[in-house]
Amino acid sequence: MAASAQADESMAADGRGPEPIRTLIVDDHALFRRGLEIVLVTEPDIEVVGQASDGAEAVQKAGEQLPDVVLMDVRMPRSSGIQACRQIKEIAPSAKIVILTMSDEEEDLFEAIRAGASGYLLKDIPLDEVAEAVRAVHGGQSLISPSMAGKLLTEFAVLANREREDGQDARPEQVPAPKLTDREMQVLKLVARGMNNRDIAKELFISDNTVKNHVRNILEKLQIHSRMEAVMVAVREKLIELS
């Protein structure tokens, strides 16, 4: 903490601000990539570090550039965005991935979350809001509104029940879900309501950094990559109940 504070003070003293958010753009349509680049390069806190036209190239570029945020389509040649998402999370686990797509299919949404995506946006989003999306995921937020989160959880609960009825959930050797602390459960329930770290901190009267630590612990215990996936696992394991 002290070292971080000293670093911030040093940066402020010599006139340097925080490092820009390193962003990789992935889409098989060159015109769309160019449009995103034009919008993002005007933002002083965002740096476009590369572009890719398919999932395979995205994995290669992510390994070379180690971006903070990846904006990526789902359906692309050679390797899909979902496949690339899984591979990028392995080689650059700290990267936040936002799926930016025309697909409004629930299956694509579920697979993206399970692959470790931190957001899922349709391409009808105004381009001037993309920069805010980059900042949001970089800051630890999930790009799903409370209403969308409710729809997602309800649908996932239906799928989970269907799996149990079909006998697919009968795994006698399955390792029990790790136990979360009472405070971690409180944080997880607020995450499920679509709240960001700052709002959770206010709700629980704790610091933003404490919330970040709790979220990190939850992800590590559940062995997953994103806040949205944490909520899905929590519902499946009955760690929280849908209201």
* pLDDT tens digits, 27-74: 999 999 999 999 999 999 999 999 999 999 999 999 999 999 999 999
Where residue 202 falls among pLDDT bands split at 50, 70, 90? very high
Tell me: do 183 and 118 sit in the same domain.
no
Question: 36-45, 83-92, 126-135, 233-242: lowest mean pLDDT where?
Answer: 233-242
Partners of residue 121 on adjacent β-strands: 100
Exposed/middle/buried for residue 225 (C-beta within 10 Å: 0-12, 13-18, 19+): buried
Tell me: do 28 and 134 sit in the same domain.
yes
Where residue 157 falls among pLDDT bands split at 50, 70, 90? low
Partners of residue 120 on adjacent β-strands: 99
CB 117 within 8 A of CB 85: yes
Mean of the pLDDT values across residues 18-27? 95
Tell me: do 103 and 194 sit in the same domain.
no
Tell me: do 78 and 129 sit in the same domain.
yes
Whether 9 is covered by a domain: the verdict is no
CB 204 within 8 A of CB 187: yes
CATH number (domain holding residue 197): 1.10.10.10
Whether 3 is covered by a domain: the verdict is no
Whether 6 is covered by a domain: the verdict is no
First to last CA, the chain: 38
Mean of the pLDDT values across residues 141-164? 63
Q: Residues 6 or more apart from 156 whose CB is under 8 A from it? A: 110, 232, 235, 236
Where residue 164 falls among pLDDT bands split at 50, 70, 90? low
Where residue 8 falls among pLDDT bands split at 50, 70, 90? very low
> For residue 86, what pLDDT is reported?
93
Tell me: do 133 and 222 sit in the same domain.
no
Sign of CA dihedral 206, 210, 216, 220: negative
The domain in which residue 48 lies consists of: 19-138
Where residue 154 falls among pLDDT bands split at 50, 70, 90? low
Tell me: do 151 and 49 sit in the same domain.
no
Whether 54 is covered by a domain: the verdict is yes
Distance CA 197, CA 188 (A): 11
Instruction: Give, for 161, the enclosing helix (H) or strand (E).
Output: helix 146-165
**Is a pLDDT exceeding 70 seen at residue 160?**
no
Report which of residues 10 and 231 the model is more confident about: 231
Tell me: do 163 and 232 sit in the same domain.
yes
Tell me: do 164 and 100 sit in the same domain.
no
Whether 5 is covered by a domain: the verdict is no
Distance CA 223, CA 74 (A): 24
Report which of residues 19 and 224 the model is more confident about: 19
Mean of the pLDDT values across residues 80-85? 93
Question: 9-23, 123-137, 142-156: lowest mean pLDDT where?
Answer: 142-156
Q: How far is CA 191 from each of CA 13, 129, 146, 157, rounded to the nearest angstrom? A: 36, 22, 9, 17
If one counts the domains in the chain, the total is 2
Tell me: do 115 and 184 sit in the same domain.
no
**Is a pLDDT exceeding 50 seen at residue 174?**
no
Mean of the pLDDT values across residues 18-28? 95
**Is a pLDDT exceeding 60 seen at residue 234?**
yes
Whether 242 is covered by a domain: the verdict is no
∠ Cα 94 150 188 (to 5°): 50
